[in-house]
Amino acid sequence: MSKKVLIASIIAAFGLTGTVTAAELNVYSARHYQTDEELYGNFTKQTGIKINRIEAKEDELLERIRNEGANSPADIFVTVDASRLAKADELGIFRPVKSAALEARIPAHLRAPNWFSYSTRARVIVYNPDMVKAEQVQTYEQLADPALKGQVCTRSGSHPYNLSLGAAMIKHNGAEATENWARGIVANFARAPKGGDTDQIRAVAAGECGVAIANSYYLARLMNSDKREDQAVVAKIKAVWPNQATWGTHINVSGAGMLEHAPNKEAAVKFLEYLASDQAQEYFANGNNEWPAVPSVKVDNPALKKLGEFKADTLPIGELADTVAEAQRIFDRAGYR
């Protein structure tokens, strides 16, 4: 056997040619939900592709990807919040993916040229009916009404969930109106912003405040809980889909994209397409109380079904990043920190 033939045989035997499907996929994830284990496990069962996952905060992962440069082993970056995905895109870390399957299944307003949304969560208003009337809290704008002075609880204004809402309000209402709104929110605080969304819901139930803003999956998680204390919280509150008569309830997303220097590009595309499959989309709903990005997927989650249908904002999700920095400046000037 000639030397060239021998080398070719060794390369083929060890799967080193470019035509062989990668057996591994390296995912950098800033999405931290234990229930995602099943999501990743199902992909491996279906494809035989092993997933190596590194989880950390988004900024840490982005810095790592930039430092690794062309030598990065990462194939996929996963995170939550549209502004974070857009920020990653601005850093030039994503490689465009052309996929007829993804374009057919993910609505246009939930994808950008270099990344895709796979689940959505709504920014809902939660209120205590013993303290606040339903008609007082039908819109985000009403939360700045002086009639709600001393009634509003929120998490930090610098958190991406609130900044994305502020960015959407700038798009719909303009910067001046959004700044007036932020000042009104601050004037209506029941206490200084603190804690996460679940803490806001619990504060409303406890009567610490009359109304709060929270992502829907935190509420659905409490609704589906079998803990007595969680059910006690749910029994004391009501939820509103804001702005149903105007631009619709603000939504945010979880999403992912293939990285520029992905060593396993074929496996990366398979993974992105898998996330848009019926099985994975049902998992987002049933495993983490989020809505599927694919509109045709049926939702069987009891809490999501109980919350019912609503009019969602269809602002292209990639546009939120255009005004997030402005939203932060507005919130800072208003003292919403």
Sequence ranges of the binding site for Fe cation:
32, 217-218
Annotated binding residues: 32, 217-218
Helix axes 36-47, 278-288, angle to 10 degrees: 160
| Distance linking the first and last C-alpha atoms of the chain | 72
Q: DSSP readout, 152-204?
A: EE-S-TTSHHHHHHHHHHHHHH-HHHHHHHHHHHHHTBSS---S-HHHHHHHH
Among 219, 224, 259, residue whose Cα is nearest residue 239:
219
| DSSP category for residue 325 | H
Residue for token pair 């209402």: 173
- The H-assigned helical ranges of 14-99 are 36-47, 58-68, 82-90
- Name the phi and psi angles at 119, rounded to 5: -150, 155
The answer to whether 58 touches 66, Cβ cutoff 8 Å, is no
Nearest Cα neighbor of 259 from 267, 248, 251, 249 is: 267
Cα 282 to Cα 254: distance, rounded to the nearest angstrom? 14
213 conformational bin, left if phi > 0, alpha if psi -120 to 50, beta if neither: beta
